[in-house]
Chain A
Amino acid sequence: SAVISQKPSRDICQRGTSLTIQCQVDSQVTMMFWYRQQPGQSLTLIATANQGSEATYESGFVIDKFPISRPNLTFSTLTVSNMSPEDSSIYLCSAAQDRRGYEQYFGPGTRLTVT
Chain B
Amino acid sequence: AQKVTQAQTEISVVEKEDVTLDCVYETRDTTYYLFWYKQPPSGELVFLIRRNSFDEQNEISGRYSWNFQKSTSSFNFTITASQVVDSAVYFCALSENTGNQFYFGTGTSLTVIP
**Interface residues of A, Cβ cutoff 8 Å to B:** 1, 31, 33, 41-43, 45, 48, 58, 90, 92, 94, 99-109, 111
Known: A101-B33, A108-B44. A42 touches B91 (CB 8 A): yes
Assess the A1–B104 pair: CB atoms within 8 A: no
Known: A103-B50, A111-B43. A43 touches B104 (CB 8 A): yes
Assess the B106–A104 pair: CB atoms within 8 A: no
Q: Closest CB-CB distance, B6 to chain A, in whole Å?
A: 9
Encoded as 1 (CB less than 8 Å from any A CB) or 0, chain B from 78 to 114 comes to 0000000000000100011101111011110000000
Taking A33-B100, A58-B101, A101-B31 as known contacts, 6 extra A-B pairs with beta carbons closer than 8 A to each other, sorted by chain A number, are A43-B91, A43-B102, A45-B102, A104-B47, A108-B42, A111-B43
Q: Closest CB-CB distance, A5 to chain B, in whole Å?
A: 11
Q: Closest CB-CB distance, B110 to chain A, in whole Å?
A: 15
Question: In the complex, what distance in Å separates the CA atom of A99 from the CA atom of B101?
Answer: 9
| Residues in A neighbouring B37, C-beta threshold 8 A | 106
| Residues in B neighbouring A58, C-beta threshold 8 A | 101
Interface size of B in residues (CB-CB distance below 8 Å)? 24
Known: A42-B91, A42-B107. A100 touches B47 (CB 8 A): no
Known: A42-B105, A43-B91. A1 touches B47 (CB 8 A): yes
Assess the A100–B105 pair: CB atoms within 8 A: no
Assess the A103–B47 pair: CB atoms within 8 A: yes
Q: Is B45 an interface residue (CB 8 A)?
A: yes
Question: In the complex, what distance in Å separates the CA atom of A45 from the CA atom of B93?
Answer: 12
Closest to A10 in B: B43
